[in-house]
Chains A and B, each alone.
Chain A
Amino acid sequence: DVKVTQSSRYLVKRTGEKVFLECVQDMDHENMFWYRQDPGLGLRLIYFSYDVKMKEKGDIPEGYSVSREKKERFSLILESASTNQTSMYLCASSLLGQGALSLHFGNGTRLTVT
């Protein structure tokens, strides 16, 4: 059974801190995604990676960067956290070419920036 594990369920950080959100998947999926979920706005794609060291900007990349040094791990980085980045962050992975049928989400990290 595919497992996408996000390292923290809850995080509280201060404005200006550098924040790392970690995601690991155990099914050898090529694609990995970071989404942001806000009430009334649904899921919005921040960044997407289809291979190690490859990344593509999603719809809302401003204020974020990502790192994919190993196939199973995809990190989201907030270089200088701001209060408007308080949100639920969801990581997901899928098999290249299988698209949505193989897409699995983690349980999310709820980040609060004070």
Chain B
Amino acid sequence: GQQLNQSPQSMFIQEGEDVSMNCTSSSIFNTWLWYKQDPGEGPVLLIALYKAGELTSNGRLTAQFGITRKDSFLNISASIPSDVGIYFCAGEEGGSEKLVFGKGTKLTVNP
């Protein structure tokens, strides 16, 4: 089955640093999404992107939908300890009702 190429697989950073992660695909998606999974919980939606080239912010998070519709990135500025978790990108094909997920980026923030 199809999966998105998400990198890096893990990151170890100091509190206050900025973080960047990205996702690429060989297929075009109509929607790109970013999820965060806290330990012991299910993933929760952070940001949804609907238009090629769109740049969207949610607090310290910024995400962009690539112009080719085959990639997206997520930036976290001024990281804090509660940013710890696994971040997943996901793509939604038009009308499919299903998502394709990346393999995840595990973020560790050292106080």
Query: Which residues of A come within 8 Å of B, CB atoms?
Result: 4, 31, 33, 35, 40-45, 48, 50, 58-60, 90, 92, 94, 96-97, 99-101, 103-108
Contacts and interface: CB of A to CB of B under 8 A. Distances in A.
Q: Which 8 A-B pairs have the closest CB atoms?
A: A59-B1, A105-B42, A42-B103, A43-B101, A42-B101, A42-B104, A100-B92, A100-B33
Interface residues of B, number: 24
B97 A50 contact: yes
A106 to B, nearest CB: 5
Given A94-B97, A99-B31, A42 B43 contact: no
Interface stretch (B2-10, B12-20, B71-79): B2-10
Interface of B: 1-3, 6, 9, 31, 33, 40-45, 48, 88, 90, 92, 97-99, 101-104
B41 A107 contact: yes
B1 A96 contact: no
18 contacts: A31-B97, A40-B103, A41-B103, A44-B1, A44-B3, A48-B98, A50-B97, A58-B98, A59-B2, A90-B42, A96-B97, A99-B31, A99-B92, A99-B97, A100-B33, A100-B48, A100-B99, A107-B42
B88 A43 contact: yes
A98 to B, nearest CB: 9
Contact of B45 (A35, A58, A103): A103
A41 B4 CA distance: 10
A107 B40 contact: yes
Contact of B6 (A42, A45, A97, A104): A42
B90 A40 contact: no
